[in-house]
A and B are shown apart, each in its own frame.
Chain A
Amino acid sequence: MKFVKDFRDRELAEKLLAAISREADTSRVYRFMEVCGSHTMAVSRFGLRSLLPKNIELVSGPGCPVCVTPQWEIDAIFEIASREDVTIVTFGDMIRVPGSRGESLQKLRADGADIRIVFSPLDTLKIAEETGKNTVFIGIGFETTAPTAAALAKTAKELGTANVFVAPFCKTVPEVMDVLLADETLEIDGFLCPGHVSVVTGLDIYKAVTAQKRSAVVTGFEPLDILSSVLEMVRQHNKGEYEVKNFYTRAVKNEGNLKAQALLKEVFYQADTDWRGLGRIPKSGLRFRDEYQSVDALAKFGIQETGVTDLKGCKCGDVLKGKMKPSACPMFDNGCTPQNPYGPCMVSSEGSCSAYYKYER
């Protein structure tokens, strides 16, 4: 596949690594955060962290949607799932996420709950038609996934389908990046910006980053994408000149996907929302506009926000902020493994703990 394999050229990767080593100032440390869970997986899988010079730290951030979903939203999903007249429709990532009482969608399904894993949110329509039951799609994700949940809501409304609902738990990236930038204890020099979020949003959302003298490079998920972006960030810091760069031009247009942006604006508004480990972040959540109340699962099932309660002993919160390496959590490989996860960062295939467990132990 020309869009993938060519970007794994070993010889070019070695040359980029040599250039990074040559240009990185050994008298300082560069701390770059990979915001996106897919970047975390790629960095771990290709062993890039260990190949970079010691004074370049790649810190994993809050870019795994399942991981940042607060406990009350997870528990709300279980509350809806445990009702007899409901079918839950979800992406596979959610199926093993633990609730505060140790339950999971997988366990609920084993106990007889009707829970379906889908590839596309639109599959919800077919399932709702087949079962005739109240069918709830769990809308968890960032700007890449949120338009697909919006498309389901809009289609269900236009078709007049009365038994399709969406749990609106999607979140937005710029607002959480603002929080990370404002945290002086983090000392982040720059961000590897999420490639597929940027397909939708475009580049303007990162201007706040460069305005604060940090680098922001939108990049893809192959070794050459990531390494060339690290080199660019090193150069920007060496010069003290910061500019948002698009190193993923084969997929990302500078203005983003205007159709998807319009769909998001039509269906959702930006509301204050809770993030695991990060607390309540203003305007960082997507909730349904009044015109879409008929498909809003929160309204349908009377779900109340109860605030953040994280799992006891789980350090996912610190991991998500880049304050703690997954392997530094006392529970890492000690009561929390991908086979038997305790916290969401170990459950999700994109979670930092899962990536470190698989590739960086």
Chain B
Amino acid sequence: MCLGFPGKLIEMDDFKAVVDIDGTRREVSLMMLPDEVVLGDYVMVHAGFAIAKMDPDEAQKTLEALREFADLLDEEGQL
């Protein structure tokens, strides 16, 4: 019920947008989105509303931190 899906913004007007979620087009409301967005951005979609702008830099940072952690363990010979 709290499922959310990252969707890519492919069409937009003031309060409505169309997103592409894994190849499926969905119309979503932007009335609850607190962030500025442009076409090509990813938003978290829940129940027909964009509820957050997804941050690719943060996704990258999280993955890099995990990779660094794993590399460190390798170097220390702990895995």
Contact = CB atoms under 8 A, between A and B. Distances in A.
Interface string A246-258: 0101111100011
Interface string A233-251: 0000000000000010111
Given A12-B70, A22-B78, A250 B48 contact: no
Nearest to B61: A249
Contacts of A91: 1, 47
Residues of B contacting A: mostly:
mixed
Contacts of B66: 12, 16, 224, 228
A70 to B, nearest CB: 16
B3 A38 contact: yes
Contact of A259 (B34, B54, B74): B34
Interface string A116-150: 00111111000000000000000011101101100
Interface string B15-58: 00000001000101101111000000010101111011011101
Interface residues of A, number: 58
Nearest to A92: B1
B59 A3 contact: yes
B46 to A, nearest CB: 5
Specify which of A37, A93, A260 lies most central, judged by the most chain B CB atoms within 10 Å of its CB: A260
B59 A140 contact: no
B49 A147 contact: yes
Specify which of B2, B58, B61, B78 lies most central, judged by the most chain A CB atoms within 10 Å of its CB: B2
Contact of A199 (B22, B52, B56): B52
A215 B39 CA distance: 38
A151 B46 contact: no
A22 B73 CA distance: 11
Contact of A120 (B3, B47, B56): B47
A120 B48 contact: yes
Interface string B62-79: 110011011001100011
B51 A15 contact: no
A196 B29 contact: no
Given A12-B67, A19-B79, A194-B2, A119 B47 contact: yes
Given A12-B66, A200-B51, A259-B32, A148 B2 contact: no
Interface string A43-59: 00000000000000000
Nearest to A94: B1
A249 B62 contact: yes
Given A195-B4, A199-B51, 15 more contacts: A3-B56, A3-B59, A7-B63, A15-B79, A18-B78, A63-B2, A120-B48, A122-B48, A148-B49, A151-B29, A196-B2, A196-B4, A196-B44, A252-B52, A257-B51
22 contacts: A3-B42, A12-B70, A18-B79, A65-B1, A91-B1, A120-B47, A120-B48, A145-B47, A147-B51, A151-B49, A196-B3, A196-B46, A199-B4, A199-B46, A250-B55, A250-B62, A251-B52, A251-B54, A252-B52, A257-B32, A260-B51, A350-B2
Interface of A: 1-4, 6-7, 9, 11-12, 15-16, 18-19, 22, 36-38, 63-66, 91, 93, 118-123, 140-142, 144-145, 147-148, 151, 194-197, 199-200, 224, 228, 247, 249-253, 257-260, 263, 348, 350
Q: Which 6 A-B pairs have the closest CB atoms?
A: A120-B48, A250-B59, A144-B2, A15-B70, A249-B58, A3-B6
